């Protein structure tokens, strides 16, 4: 660094860690020249010196951005009249973050506090940003020319564009949210509303791979990814069977921006509305789907603010263990939790346990379940009704056979528990997709029957 009268100063950063191990790692990474240019030294600090810093974002997300607060008086050479000060290779504030990974951009921006600036770094990979955060968080930086001139490290890890907007004071990190509202009648295991109010949501068939679970046989384990960055919502197809936006199939792996009132659909494999097609004129989209696609799982994109203002249904509906339920923040009134008017996609980190008629959310609050009426139980046991609701109505051809063989859905479950091949043979199910649909439905039905026995 160079002070106002032209004298060169050294900047030393203090952080907890093994100095020899750091040096060894730097040598292995062929970054000895960067160390020499920056003259960085590592020193241990006691735990009592660690201040409270900014909160870290969700580590499971792909985050290449890193933001570090620095005192303005440490920065020299700022172009007059410029709000931003781009850093280049060879400067301290470019070479310093480059110790932990390839840097695409390093930028110094004025903070709201006139005595503070933000160092904003965009790494080529999330690993570099994460490593820098873990090594610096809770430490101090100080100038070796005046060792009592220290500054507590306050840093953020997140998406680069989000951090840049935050640093420039344009908007808060939270941004706006969206909801995907299902069009069509409710189905067991299918969320009616998917709330998108965090950076990244994975939709899929299995909770191990997805934040929001959609229990349909044609849905992949990790079917699609919704990403909310700086108030912009996008979707990326990661499935085998396909994802559609406004009747156009997405090219696999291509991220496409979503807008309010867009229609997002997940079409069953083998359905006449699922042509593979060739890439069309829209970026990231393929040939338009057959009109029958509208009978599949279709969600409409809506702004979260608008969805909150819309009146919610007051009609009680039957709840089973396998249903997704409306999970609200713990600050919400109990009446809002108890209504359970519409099932909402359940985030992976929230655990829901059903015990004797009570749904327990995060081991924090008990919410009474809606008690099923007798006629609702009879409807749930009706074989014809059950078969028509399966897999978007694609299994109706088996209704005559099912109704001639069975009096209730529970009878099917009890007779063929662990014997699905016998069920396929008796009902004459040859199609593999239809077998998968029945298998999924009977597994869900088994969970529901168990829940009824416990209540």
Please give the tally of structural domains in the chain: 3
User: Does residue 369 fall inside a structural domain?
Assistant: no
Note the pLDDT tens digit of each residue in 332-350: 332 332 222 333 333 333 3
Most confident of 42-51, 142-151, 443-452: 142-151
- pLDDT 10s digits, 350-388: 333 333 333 333 333 333 333 344 444 455 678 888 888
Asked if 100 and 124 sit in the same domain, the reply is yes
* Mean pLDDT confidence for 428-446: 76
Instruction: Determine the average pLDDT of the residues in 13-41.
Output: 45
Query: What does the pLDDT read at residue 171?
Result: 52
Q: Which long-range contacts (CB under 8 A, 24 or more apart) does 91-94 make?
A: 92/1, 92/11, 92/37, 92/38, 93/119
Whether residue 190 lies inside any domain: the answer is yes
pLDDT for position 120:
93
Same domain for 140 and 188: no
Tokens (6 digits) for 285 = 């989209």
pLDDT bin (cut points 50, 70, 90) of residue 122 is very high
Q: Are residues 397 and 346 in the same domain?
A: no
Tell me the pTM. Answer: 0.35
Domain contains 363: no
Overall average pLDDT of the 397-409 stretch? 86
Structure tokens of 432? Answer: 């593999």
82 and 188 belong to one structural domain: no
Q: Which residues span the domain enclosing 316?
A: 178-350
Q: What is the mean pLDDT of residues 418-432?
A: 86
Do 185 and 330 belong together in one domain? yes
Residue 293 and residue 265: Cα distance in Å, rounded? 8
Same-domain pairing of 114 and 191: no
Residues 207 and 248 in one domain: yes
Residue 281, domain member (yes or no): yes
Residue 153: the pLDDT is 84
Answer yes or no: is 367 within a domain.
no
Same domain, 231 and 295: yes
Asked if 150 and 52 sit in the same domain, the reply is yes
Q: Are residues 203 and 157 in the same domain?
A: no
CA angle at residue 315 from 310 to 319, to 5 degrees? Answer: 110
140-144, 246-250, 262-266, 448-452: least confident range: 448-452
Of the candidates 350, 385, 405, which is a domain's last residue?
A: 350
Let me know if residue 236 belongs to a domain: yes
- Of 167, 202, 229, the position where a domain reaches its end is 167
256 part of a folded domain? yes
The answer to whether the CB of 299 falls within 8 A of the CB of 256 is no
- Same structural domain, 99 and 183: no
Residue ending a domain, choose from 144, 167, 190: 167
154, 17: one domain: yes
Whether residue 270 is contained in a domain is answered as yes
**With 90 as the cut, is the pLDDT of residue 106 above it?**
yes
Report whether pLDDT(439) > 60.
yes
CA-nearest of 238, 254, 240 to 286 is 254
pLDDT band of residue 107 (cuts 50, 70, 90) is very high
């Amino acid at each position: 660094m160079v002070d106002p009268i032209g004298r060169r100063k050294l900047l030393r950063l203090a952080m907890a860690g093994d100095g020899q191990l750091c040096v060894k790692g730097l040598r292995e990474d062929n970054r000895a020249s960067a160390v020499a240019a920056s003259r960085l030294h590592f020193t241990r600090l006691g735990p009592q010196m660690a201040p409270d810093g900014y909160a870290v974002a969700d580590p499971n997300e792909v985050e290449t951005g890193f933001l570090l607060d620095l005192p303005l008086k440490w920065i020299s050479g700022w172009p007059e009249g410029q709000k931003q000060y781009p850093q280049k290779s060879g400067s301290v504030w470019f070479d310093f973050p480059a110790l932990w990974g390839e840097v695409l951009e390093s930028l110094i921006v004025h903070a709201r506090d006139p005595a503070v600036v933000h160092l904003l770094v965009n790494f080529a990979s999330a690993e570099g940003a994460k490593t820098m955060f873990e090594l610096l968080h809770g430490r101090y930086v100080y100038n070796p020319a005046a060792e009592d001139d220290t500054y507590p490290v306050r840093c953020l890890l997140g998406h680069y564009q989000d951090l840049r907007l935050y640093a420039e004071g344009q908007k808060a990190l939270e941004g706006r949210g969206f909801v995907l509202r299902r069009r069509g009648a409710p189905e067991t295991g299918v969320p009616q509303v998917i709330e998108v109010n965090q950076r990244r949501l994975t939709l899929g068939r299995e909770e191990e791979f997805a934040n929001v679970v959609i229990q349909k046989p044609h849905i992949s384990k990790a079917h699609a990814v919704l990403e909310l960055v700086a108030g912009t919502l996008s979707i990326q197809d990661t499935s085998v069977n396909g994802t559609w936006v406004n009747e156009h199939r997405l090219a696999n792996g291509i991220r496409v921006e979503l807008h309010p009132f867009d229609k997002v659909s997940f079409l069953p494999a083998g359905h006449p509305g699922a042509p593979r097609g060739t890439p069309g004129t829209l970026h990231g989209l393929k040939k338009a789907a057959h009109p029958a696609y509208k009978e599949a799982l279709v969600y409409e994109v809506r702004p979260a603010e608008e969805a909150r203002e819309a009146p919610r249904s007051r009609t009680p509906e039957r709840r089973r263990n396998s249903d997704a339920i409306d999970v609200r923040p713990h600050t919400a009134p109990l009446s809002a939790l108890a209504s359970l008017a519409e099932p909402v996609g359940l985030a992976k980190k929230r655990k829901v346990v059903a015990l004797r008629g009570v749904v327990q959310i995060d081991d924090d609050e008990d919410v009474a379940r809606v008690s099923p009426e007798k006629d609702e139980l009879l409807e749930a046991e009706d074989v014809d009704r059950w078969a028509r609701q399966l897999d978007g109505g694609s299994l109706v051809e088996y209704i005559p056979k099912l109704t001639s063989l069975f009096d209730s859905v529970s009878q099917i479950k009890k007779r063929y528990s662990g014997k699905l091949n016998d069920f396929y043979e008796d009902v004459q199910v040859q199609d593999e997709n239809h077998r998968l649909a029945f298998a999924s439905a009977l597994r869900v039905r088994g969970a529901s029957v168990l829940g009824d026995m416990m209540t």
